[in-house]
Amino acid sequence: MASRGTQARAIPYLFSLPALFLILALLLLPMLISLGLSLTDYTLGAPEVDFVWFENFERIFTRSTYMKMLSATFWYVIIVVPGSVALGLGAALLINSLTVGKGFYRTVFFLPVMATLVAMAMVWEFMLHPTLGIVNEGLEGLCAVPGITAIGFFETGCADGFPHWLGERETALWVLCFIGIWQAVGFNMVLYMAGLTAIPRELYNAASVDGADSAWDRFRLVTWPMLGPTNVFVLTITAIRSFQAFDTVDMLTEGGPSKSTYVIMYAIFEKGVQQNLIGVGTAITVLFMAFVFLLTFLQRYLVERRVHYA
């Protein structure tokens, strides 16, 4: 019969068993299955499954379609993450400095986060329509402003028409990045406002005594260093969400034109669902998970260790 001390030590493990089971069933097991399927040519309904080992991964890194996928994903993440983080911090600082109307502005900036992205994508599609959209209509209206045609963009647009923003390779990805930033700013703003609230006011008083009278000095010497943990969290969450971009791509461009917006999540959907290439789709999924794990590891161990204070 087990001693009372042994039973007491076993109780925490018994309480953790349901959570461990859910982690195993919903996270670890699907990951292992995906890793196994990525080494095969499996398709739904196929009578036989053959191991192709690393042929799917070789295809990803050698074929031009998948190289465009990696390029589009890289540029989307590298633009959306710093843009949404910087604007989210700026919005939080501005709203936090207000004495009246904080609730109103928080709501306004947070609206894109609460809105259904599919519905908002339809609104963006209509706004960016080459002939009926309000964006091109507004730009054409500016053509009547004296001297505006001296600017190269307006000179070309006023003479030949402004671009089809979602239908041209040179502009489609930039538009999706803009929409991604627009949607992420409100969420990052809320996180930064929580971080700003946690900064002790005594630190600002002490900095003022030491001569930090300007807003820039207070931000540089107090606000930015004390936001270190918040920065790590916001960067990690925003980067992961950027890798997961799918809704706007599916609704607005479907990976085109010429694969210029063929991001990794849309490639998983196209290969794994639309084309029933489960092996290739899971190989891209494994690559996606590797990116997320690497990103999380780098930010945790190379950045987070610098942001804790004794």
pLDDT in tens, 165-177: 999 999 999 999 9
Number of CB atoms found within 10 A of residue 303's CB: 14
What pLDDT does residue 310 have? 44
User: What band does 119 get if pLDDT is binned at 50, 70 and 90?
Assistant: confident
pLDDT over 80 at 124, yes or no = yes
Taking only Cα atoms into account, the Rg of the chain, rounded to an integer number of angstroms, comes to: 25
Single pTM value for the model: 0.88
Q: Whole-angstrom Cα distance, residue 254 to residue 260?
A: 10
**270-280 pLDDT per residue, tens:** 998 899 899 99
pLDDT over 60 at 307, yes or no = no
Average pLDDT, the chain: 87
CATH number of 59-117+172-310: 1.10.3720.10
- Per-domain boundaries in the chain: 59-117+172-310
pLDDT over 80 at 287, yes or no = yes
